[in-house]
Every structure is written in structure tokens, then in C-alpha cells.
Chains A and B, each alone.
Chain A
Amino acid sequence: NAGVTQTPKFQVLKTGQSMTLQCAQDMNHNSMYWYRQDPGMGLRLIYYSASEGTTDKGEVPNGYNVSRLNKREFSLRLESAAPSQTSVYFCASSDGLFQPQHFGDGTRLSIL
């Protein structure tokens, strides 16, 4: 039972490069989320998708875009990476907006 799967697990980018973080869930959940976690800051919501076909901004959306490709998949794109985007990124899913979230094991991203 895979749950929430994120790829890649680690990535190093140069400033200005672009990349897409992939997330897929096999729990038939409606809602999906992207967070970043920085030391001393806690988890902060970047974007979320309440259901297939919808996406909305979270607390820190600047510099990111998302795509809810289908019910299973929710990708996060950095168009022009900046050192301030160095972080650990977590994807999560839930059955609904009031329900607890289940997390993938994260992507550690460093931008030089």
C-alpha cells in the first residue's frame, strides 16, 4: 500500500533552473496539498486542490505553480528556482478538507 508517493526524493538545482515535483496518491482521496517545511517555520501550505479540476493558493504560493492532472496526481512546478526555495517539500492528500492529511516522504530540494 503505497499511500502518497513523491518523486524525486532529492534534487539539487542551480538558480534559474526549472523543475517539477511529482506526487501521486492511491487512496482515492479528493483533496491534495503541497507544503514546504523550513527549520523553525513549521509546515506552510503552498497550494492545494480541494477536488479534481480545482487548485487554490495557500500561504506561500509565490514562485510556484501546480497542476491537478487527475484525481491521483498533483504536481508542483518551480519555473525559475531561487535559493529561498531551498526546503523540504511534502505532498499530502485527504478525503476532504476537514479530514486529516496523509503525507508523502518528502523531496529535499537545494538551490545553489
Chain B
Amino acid sequence: RKEVEQDPGPFNVPEGATVAFNCTYSNSASQSFFWYRQDCRKEPKLLMSVYSSGNEDGRFTAQLNRASQYISLLIRDSKLSDSATYLCVVNLGTGNQFYFGTGTSLTVIP
């Protein structure tokens, strides 16, 4: 079983739409959680950390559900520039246990 699983998509949404991605993780001992964004042929870039109480950064909201072992990312008022692959990342608290999902592809359509 993979440590982190994401729906690969693709998600194709119109500009202005709200879209949500989920990511499940298998190890209940997971310590920290992040969402990264990766543009085609570029490096992953940190989008936001995910905190237990949930957190928001502008149009982006991240939530953690420890009981069900998933994290989510909500994007409101989608922009064309949001088109990218979104990676969820789970850390078990040691250096060699930083697990990346395979990513969810989002295309925002004019």
C-alpha cells in the first residue's frame, strides 16, 4: 500500500470555479503535512503547510482529518495561473520518511 495516495485527475474546471483535492495517508504516526505545486517540467514549490486546525491562505484552504487520515486542499475562484499539478506530502517525523503523492493535475479553462 502506498504511503500517500492522490486522485491523479485530471481536473478540468472553468475559471472562477471551486475545486477540492483529497489525499489519504496510511500511517497514523504521520507528523507534518504539506501541499506543493509543480508546474510542467519545473521543481515542486511549497504551497502551504497543513495544520490540525485547518488553515487558509487567500483563495486556498487546507484541512487535516487525522481520524480519517486525509488532507484536503480547496481552491476558490480558480485562476488560469492555478493550472498545475498539486502534490500532497506527509512526513513521519524522520528524515527518510517524507512521502510525496504522485500529484493531482488541475487545468483551469478560460
Contacts and interface: CB of A to CB of B under 8 A. Distances in A.
Using C-beta atoms within 8 Å of the partner chain, give the interface range for chain A. Answer: 20 to 34
Contact of B100 (A42, A48, A50, A57): A42
A112 interface: no
Contacts of B102: 40-42
B95 A31 contact: yes
Nearest to A55: B95
B95 A43 contact: no
A105 B87 CA distance: 16
B91 A45 contact: no
B101 A42 contact: yes
B100 A97 contact: no
B45 interface: yes
B11 to A, nearest CB: 17
Nearest to B8: A40
Contacts of B34: 100
Using C-beta atoms within 8 Å of the partner chain, give the interface range for chain B. Answer: 20 to 34
A102 interface: yes
B95 A90 contact: no
A31 B91 CA distance: 14
A102 B45 CA distance: 7
Nearest to B32: A98
Interface in B81-110: 87, 89, 91, 93-96, 98, 100-103
A33 B103 CA distance: 20
Contact of A50 (B31, B93, B95): B95
B87 A42 contact: yes
A56 interface: yes
A90 B101 contact: no
A43 B49 CA distance: 18
20 contacts: A31-B95, A33-B95, A33-B98, A43-B44, A45-B96, A45-B98, A50-B95, A57-B96, A58-B96, A59-B96, A97-B94, A97-B95, A97-B98, A98-B32, A98-B91, A100-B34, A100-B46, A103-B44, A105-B42, A105-B43
Given A42-B4, A101-B46, A102-B46, 8 more contacts: A42-B87, A42-B102, A43-B44, A44-B100, A45-B96, A97-B91, A100-B46, A106-B43
